[in-house]
Chains A and B, each alone.
Chain A
């Protein structure tokens, strides 16, 4: 499990740039005047207390919530190439009545099966042995793993992860770190909001954005 695998070609040079970004929901500003640059092969960790706007910032970057001011752009991508990001939120978007493999197959079909084959991805996140089971039987941690497998079956440069390690055990934490590391290896970008410390082997790849209403 520890060998570094690089699947498919690596991405070109990309930069996620946010300028004067303010985000919030329901008319309440949660974070403002955010400026950051994330380059290919780098991971941005969002830190801060509950309610600091980490999740909202991720939703704003994903284009689901519109920014209150400023904006963000992923430079170096083709406008027509379709969505360039994977968003992985609190909710795992699993259908309990479909099997683990069927759940994953759907996302592969919808987002384009450009990455790993679905069974391989399940092996990678440690769910290979229960691929045929209904997703309803999965524990919270296993559901999380399945949600992470979705990032592997379709290749997209930018990952937006909201508490990726939530409900995961120690091995799971290691898995998240490995997945992020492998993604950075091929030139991907990661923005992750987390309370758990994520430590990549190469610390120079990490940058941190402290959020909170200390201002």
Chain B
């Protein structure tokens, strides 16, 4: 073993140790939970009691307050996974594997929610649950990528090896997602005159923006909290698997 002589480690190195990562971030968990809960209370209050109905969309605008944050998270979580994948491949950072694995089911859930709320919003607005609109279609493709990644995690026996391989796939997906988005947009404009989804833009009054922003942060903090908790669990699971393997080995040599 090489002797480590660094007297003071940077935070970067310190969180590279899974056990220390858990110890250091354990304190963050409760504050994050409380912030998330507060944001949701405020956000929901705004969403239902303190925002007007849109002159065009009527009360259905309230679906936006859960739809837009879900849609944002569906992409943000993938970005988190892609950055973690870089961490796995470039810096071989042990926590990057854990972050990547913990994020995948969360991202898939938020993508499902984005599609679900989108179609519930679409029914009264467009008159159909599903429209082969560019955004919804590319979100659907994104969902399949998420599900593929989750299936991949489950298919590997050795999670350490899995991390590096899945990191490659995550990055290939990250390179591809803009291309998919572009191609789907190109395709949907080819088959229909214009996208219907034009809720954003300067027409949006501030009274709608406020709940939207609060909910946006509420969802983001919800993700951060759950992600951190799932990462802790994943660290423990790895320790568990190492111990189990060791127990088997001990059984053999005894």
Contacts from A to B (Cβ < 8 Å): 20, 22, 25-28, 32-33, 51, 69-70, 213
Contact = CB atoms under 8 A, between A and B. Distances in A.
Nearest to A27: B160
B168 to A, nearest CB: 16
Q: Select the residue from B1, B238, B242, B252 with max chain A CB neighbours within 10 A.
A: B1
Nearest to B158: A26
A33 B1 contact: yes
B198 interface: no
Contacts of A28: 242, 245-246, 249
Nearest to A22: B1
Given A28-B245, A33-B1, 20 more contacts: A20-B1, A20-B2, A25-B158, A26-B158, A26-B160, A26-B161, A26-B245, A27-B160, A27-B238, A27-B242, A27-B245, A28-B242, A28-B249, A32-B1, A51-B249, A51-B252, A69-B2, A70-B1, A70-B2, A213-B253
Contacts, number: 26
A20 B2 CA distance: 7
A172 B208 CA distance: 83
B103 to A, nearest CB: 21
Interface string B219-254: 000000000000000000010001001100100110
What are the nearest 8 A-B pairs in CB distance?
A: A26-B158, A27-B160, A69-B1, A28-B245, A27-B242, A69-B2, A26-B160, A20-B2
Contacts of A27: 158, 160, 238, 242, 245
A33 B3 CA distance: 12
Contacts of B161: 26
Nearest to A212: B253
Contacts of A51: 249, 252
A81 B166 CA distance: 33
Contacts of B249: 28, 51
A33 B252 CA distance: 23
26 contacts: A20-B1, A20-B2, A22-B1, A25-B158, A26-B158, A26-B160, A26-B161, A26-B245, A27-B158, A27-B160, A27-B238, A27-B242, A27-B245, A28-B242, A28-B245, A28-B246, A28-B249, A32-B1, A33-B1, A51-B249, A51-B252, A69-B1, A69-B2, A70-B1, A70-B2, A213-B253
A70 B245 CA distance: 24
A213 B249 CA distance: 10
A172 to B, nearest CB: 31
A69 B2 CA distance: 7
A48 to B, nearest CB: 12
Contacts of B1: 20, 22, 32-33, 69-70
Nearest to B246: A28
A43 B244 CA distance: 37
Nearest to B161: A26
Interface string B1-33: 110000000000000000000000000000000
A32 B202 CA distance: 65
Nearest to A19: B2
A70 B1 CA distance: 7
Contacts of A69: 1-2
Contacts of B160: 26-27
A32 B2 CA distance: 11
A215 to B, nearest CB: 12
B190 to A, nearest CB: 47
Nearest to B3: A20
B241 to A, nearest CB: 8
A69 B242 CA distance: 18
Nearest to A51: B252
